[in-house]
Structure 1
Amino acid sequence: MESKKIIYLDNAATSWPKPPTVAEAMERSMRESAANPGRGSHAMAVKASRVLFETRKRLARLFRISNPNDIAFALNTTHALNLAIQGMLKQGDHVIATTVEHNSVRRPLEALKRKLGIQVTYIGTDAKGLLNVKEVERAILPNTKMIVVTHSSNLLGSIIPVAEIGEIARRRNVKLLVDAAQSAGVLPIDVEGMGIDLLAFPGHKGLMGPQGTGGLYIHPNLELEPLMHGGTGSKSEAPEQPTIRPDRYEAGTQNTVGLAGLSEGVGFILKETTEVIHNQEQRLTFQLMEGLQGIPGITLLGPDIGVERTAIVSFLLEGVDPSEMAFLLDQQFGIAVRAGFHCTPLGHETAGSYETGAVRASPGYFTEKSEIVSMIEAVEEISRNLRNGK
């Protein structure tokens, strides 16, 4: 029996499908170069090391990073953010963040607040997730060490003006950490041009790679305390973690197979370009918003139609719990979305949806216009049945 075709609108969580070359590269790596990278001089180990370096080079090209070795691989954005936050902040430091941050930023900050007594200031955005950068500069104190911002809200799709904040951070001698979970591979990122000192990114979302991959760019003039200590294959005679990059931040065996897939995902983006990808996703996003806003009882969250955003459409239907909506879309229509709080309670407080959560639909580069039409028709049917008491 044939399985029902899935309409996948959960790309903000993990992109799917991937370019075919991603799985092909992973299979090839497993067959030909699955030895430990950096842990031996035999041919397979050298080949595995080459896979990692090629992935770094492609990421460096995408993010305009001068030295690929300034990229430390991580399991995901959360891992990378923890390396940046815990590796840099000390007792007495002050940090500025926003009210649309993911828990991957908020929870490490709050943990250090309890543990070390750091100060944290959350700058509010408006209800649509748009930030006034002047508020960021006004919040800077003599002991401000870091500004951390999400490049794009994973709930609202709003885009934070990173380059403007980067200019402020450089002028005021404050380090800028950017959470690129929703922007890497979709929006253009130039770490030098935008004044980014630390860039945390996932491999499994916009970069089209597999889960369990990601990384952190660390400015060459910035040293972090490693999050983990252990074997690196270098300076093995020393009791301390080596200082050379990227070894200092990559204790343990790396995910060579996954990073081989990530390399192909990044290669696909470099070929297609972020401009083409973003424009395609934004067209689909506006199509979905236009269709949903005409349905009685629908409330859309985030910037208005026509305002630049990433491919995230969060909404509420009056009288229907978001979790029930997601269940009905999945079970009755074969449409995959996500409901709940999306790991950003601050974002829901900002948007006014904290009491209920929301439904989030997130198209991707491979989403078809007909699938957007099917999503709109499904929500219309659910709304109509509600009004008719079914």
Structure 2
Amino acid sequence: MNRNADKPVIYLDHAATSWPKPAAVLEAMHHSMLEEAANPGRGGHRMAVSAGRVLMRTRMELGRLFGVSNPNDIVFMPNTTAALNQAIKGLLRSGDHVIATMIEHNSVRRPLEYMRREHGVQVDYVQADEFGMINPSEIAALCRPNTRMIVCNHSSNLLGSILPVADIAEIAKSRGAVLLVDAAQSAGVMDIHVEHLGIDMLAFPGHKGLLGPQGTGGLYIHPSIDLIPLIHGGTGSQSEEADQPSIRPDRYEAGTPNTVGIAGLGAGVRHVLQEGPAVIGRREWELTQLLMGRLSSVSGLRLLGPKLGEPRTGIVSFTVESMDSAKVAFRLDREYGIAVRAGYHCTPLAHRVSNTTDGGAVRSSVGCDTTEADTEALANAIVEIVGSV
């Protein structure tokens, strides 16, 4: 019985997609569709020029957010997955060596395994402890003369752990390797300055912490790095040439862009800049601590990731003894109107680390609009569910 079918959902799946979006995001998309949804860069008429300004303004806002001095070094992508594929497949060649970690998302692991299988790229994965942390010295120990790239997520999408990106960047720089960071769970909720942190490439989603619509995201590429584009085609520039343009961002943005979505992304980024990523992140951390404090006393429940009081992003994953994670999530949805995610979260290596390969885990994740009442409702529901097992 779905006793909450007519009640508002308690949304705790922000690690997958943030919801609801700020009103300004909807307004920006509506305005773009009505007034300026022409093809940017493909014409000189006023609507095309206006659409081009939307892209440039959003690029500049992202530059402010990530400490990028030249906005043209930020390339729009449909999601983090596309950005990571562009970075990995566009840089690595046969005989190169790359180091990743045991808590990477499949958006990193699968492209790496493809490059290993089809192109002879050598791949090593650094072990993480059960809380999702790694020792940077183990990355240094794995480096070889042919190490071309080190790739890591900023925060695990299962465990919420935060990796020491600045320390990893120092290792990459000392070995002449490129550092690629997956910011799927950190963009918008942590201060990220690519120059200060030493990040060479940053892949980020638009639809999570940046509060934009699905189908948006991007990749920052250091000006010294030239990637082979994954997609070749029309750019509106250098059309007389047979080769893809060398200028940025055109080199990596073939085809008609998602102008309406990028307009919404720009509004989301402006909202984040106004609030401040660190302020948003602190608020989300406080909510995770309240939730963890309640759940830690539930018999048969095991919390994953960093311990209570330690740094983490807004993710609280857990398992319930003798109960499949999918069943827990189903009951939360059907009986309590609470939206979470269950299963393997596209990160099987992290499940090996946390010893949850048998049934996966339930993942709850807070957002910038989550309330204490929301986390209290989840905790109360879990107490009832576990008590009824």
TM-score normalised per structure 1? 0.98
Give the conservation status (yes or no) of the 8 Å contact 2:147–2:175: no
Out of 369, 373, 379, the position equivalent to 1:376 is 379
Q: Distance in 2 between matches of 1:14 and 1:3?
A: 22
Give the SS at the match of 1:158: coil
Q: Distance in 2 between matches of 1:276 and 1:331?
A: 33
1:313 maps to which residue?
316
1:324 maps to which residue?
327
Map 1:105-184 to 2 at 5 A.
Answer: 105-184=108-187
2:299 maps to which residue?
296
Question: % of aligned pairs identical?
Answer: 59
The structure-2 alpha-carbon separation of the partners of 1:366 and 1:238, relative to structure 1 and needing over 3 Å to count, comes to same
Out of 185, 195, 199, the position equivalent to 2:198 is 195
- Is it true that 1:273 corresponds to 2:273 in the alignment? no
Q: Distance in 1 between matches of 2:119 and 2:375?
A: 48
Out of 219, 234, 249, the position equivalent to 2:237 is 234
Out of 205, 223, 230, the position equivalent to 1:220 is 223
Deviation string for 1:175-199 (max 9, x for gaps)? 0000000000011111111111100
Q: Distance in 2 between matches of 1:343 and 1:33?
A: 37
Q: Distance in 1 between matches of 2:299 and 2:266?
A: 45
Equivalent residue letter for 1:317: V
1:92 maps to which residue?
95
2:15 maps to which residue?
12
Q: How many Å apart are 1:60 and its aligned residue?
A: 0.3
Q: How many Å apart are 1:356 and its aligned residue?
A: 1.1
Out of 22, 25, 29, the position equivalent to 1:22 is 25
Q: Distance in 2 between matches of 1:237 and 1:170?
A: 39
Q: How many Å apart are 1:2 and its aligned residue?
A: 8.8
> Where does structure 1 lack aligned partners over 5 or more consecutive residues?
none
- Is it true that 1:340 corresponds to 2:343 in the alignment? yes
Give the conservation status (yes or no) of the 8 Å contact 2:5–2:337: no
Equivalent residue letter for 1:288: L
Equivalent residue letter for 2:216: T
Q: Distance in 1 between matches of 2:114 and 2:338?
A: 37
Give the SS at the match of 2:76: strand
Give the conservation status (yes or no) of the 8 Å contact 2:325–2:360: yes
Q: How many Å apart are 1:3 and its aligned residue?
A: 3.1
1:66 maps to which residue?
69
Deviation string for 1:214-256 (max 9, x for gaps)? 0000000110000100000000010100000000000000000
Out of 280, 285, 288, the position equivalent to 1:285 is 288
Q: Which moved more, 1:214-223 or 1:164-173?
A: 164-173
- Is it true that 1:103 corresponds to 2:103 in the alignment? no
> Where does structure 2 lack aligned partners over 5 or more consecutive residues?
none
Equivalent residue letter for 1:384: G
Q: How many Å apart are 1:169 and its aligned residue?
A: 1.0
- Is it true that 1:244 corresponds to 2:252 in the alignment? no
Q: Please tell me the root mean square deviation across aligned C-alpha atoms, in Å.
A: 0.9
Q: Distance in 2 between matches of 1:217 and 1:363?
A: 26
TM-score normalised per structure 2? 0.98
Equivalent residue letter for 1:309: R
